[in-house]
Amino acid sequence: MTSTATHPLKPFAALPHPREVIRQFTPNWFAVTMGTGILSLCLHALSDSWPPLYGLAESIWWLNVVLFLLCTSLYGLRWVLFTQEARRVFAHGSVSMFLGTIPMGLATLINGLLLFAVPRWGTGLVPLAEALWWLDVAMALACGVAIPYAMFTRQTHRIEQMTAIWLLPVVAAEVAAVSGGLLVGYLVDAQQQLLVLSLSYALWAYSVPVALSIMTILLLRLALHKLPHANMAASSWLALGPVATAALGMLTLGAQAPGVFLANGLPALASVAQGTGVIAGLLFWGLGFWWLGLAALITLRYVREGLPFNLGWWGFTFPLGAYALASVRLGESLGLGLFHTLGAGLAGCLVLLWLTVASRTLRGAWRGELFVAPCLADDQ
């Protein structure tokens, strides 16, 4: 068989046939859109302090639109051309978790649509953003229940094999809640604002307590069975994701809630909503700082022992970006530069990390080395 070393410029040299790109395409690839999307949102948040970042943030968002459409097309083709093999995803204990990355990737596009496209082309795009948000909510709700149900009925799991990827289908709902909080500020009808805001709070509750319970089990698993294999090194960062998103969600919803509640004749709720959002955001930010430190120490250990590259490296990006964004928003809410400075520093780390992971992903995709579906391993 021809090796990739013999023909380094030949696309998909590691695959027996180019159609394997479609056959081996898994939901894991949508993690690329999550990491790219959160980078654009972080840079946008910092553009208020440094305006040149706005153009870069918008360009990265457009890149993410292309990536999401490409991933959607390839994964859709897999279901059309290799339906029986695609259905195996629901029985696979690891790959199925990444179905949650699809609505989370879409959520970053919705946020960018509101932050970049609406200012450029007008409020006529708001109904599109709203329609996409409802689609995102439907997918997030489905993932949050259907994947755990598959875990209980079709899949085989053992506590010593557990990793933080169990969080992925659950966290999608709170990511949608953050997008809902942003969307509220673009809606005109007061009743529609109240509906979206209320549902966003419910989505937050649909996700965060379940995620915290999974993280409790994860701590027990790590204490009893130590760190997972180096191939799952990036999963140590995934626990930061729901905590950071929980903080960002409460800050975003709390900022929008007072005006919405007042417009709907609920002044009692308006008087406490913003303060509750800031306090809750601060508390989750503190918990996130603990996970950030732990994840950093675990990663340093993996680096010393050898850290092989795979698509899982995108798991480093979204949690770090969400925490950076929550830090910036918290600094704005409290008027404290410390949080904003820390958020900017973490965003700088995210830029370097994204460049590293994206370049390796591009190289691995060109060669075809990253197109491997674990749920088809029995066929190899």
Tell me, what's the pLDDT at 235? 92
DSSP string, 87-146: GGGGG-TTGGGGGGHHHHHHHHHHHHIIIIIHHHH-GGGHHHHHHHHHHHHHHHHHHHHH
Token pair listed for 36: 């790219």
**Phi, psi of 92, deg, nearest 5:** -90, 125
The residue assigned the tokens 């007008």 is 122
- In degrees rounded to 5, what are phi and psi of residue 309? -80, 140
Angle at which helix 240-263 crosses helix 267-305, to 10 degrees, equals 170
Q: Residue 108: which residues within 8 A CB-CB, separation 6 or more? A: 33, 34, 36, 37, 38, 40, 41, 64
How far apart are alpha carbons 121 and 57 in whole angstroms? 17
DSSP state of 21: H
User: Which residues have C-beta within 8 Å of that of residue 7, sequence separation ≥ 6?
Assistant: 13
For each of the domains in the chain, give its residue range(s) and CATH number, in order of start. 20-379 (1.50.10.150)
The confidence score (pLDDT) of residue 6 equals 44
Quote the DSSP letter at residue 228.
Answer: -
Burial 343-363 (b: 16+ CB within 10 A, else e): bbebbeebeebbeebbeebee
pLDDT tens per residue across all 380 residues of the chain: 344 444 556 788 889 999 999 999 999 999 999 999 999 999 999 999 999 999 999 999 999 999 999 999 999 999 999 999 999 999 999 999 999 999 999 999 999 999 999 999 999 999 999 999 999 999 999 999 999 999 999 999 999 999 999 999 999 999 999 999 999 999 999 999 999 999 999 999 999 999 999 999 999 999 999 999 988 999 999 999 999 999 999 999 999 999 999 999 999 998 899 899 999 999 999 999 999 999 999 999 999 988 999 999 999 999 999 999 999 999 999 999 999 999 999 999 999 999 999 999 999 999 999 999 998 875 54
Cβ-based neighbour number of residue 271 at 10 Å: 12
Determine the pLDDT at residue 83: 96
C-alpha 255: how far from chain center: 22
Give the global pTM. 0.95
Token pair in block for residue 92:
């696979």
| Radius of gyration in angstroms for the set of CA atoms belonging to the chain, rounded to a whole number | 21
CA distance 86 to 155: 16
Structure confidence at residue 379 (pLDDT): 54
pLDDT attached to residue 5: 47
Q: Which two tokens stand for residue 351?
A: 């830029």
Pinpoint the alpha helices (H) of 185-238.
190-225, 235-238
Separation between Cα atoms, residue 364 and residue 4, nearest integer Å? 11
Q: Are 350 and 321 in contact (CB under 8 A)?
A: yes
Assigned token pair, 145: 């229940």
Supply the pLDDT for residue 4: 43
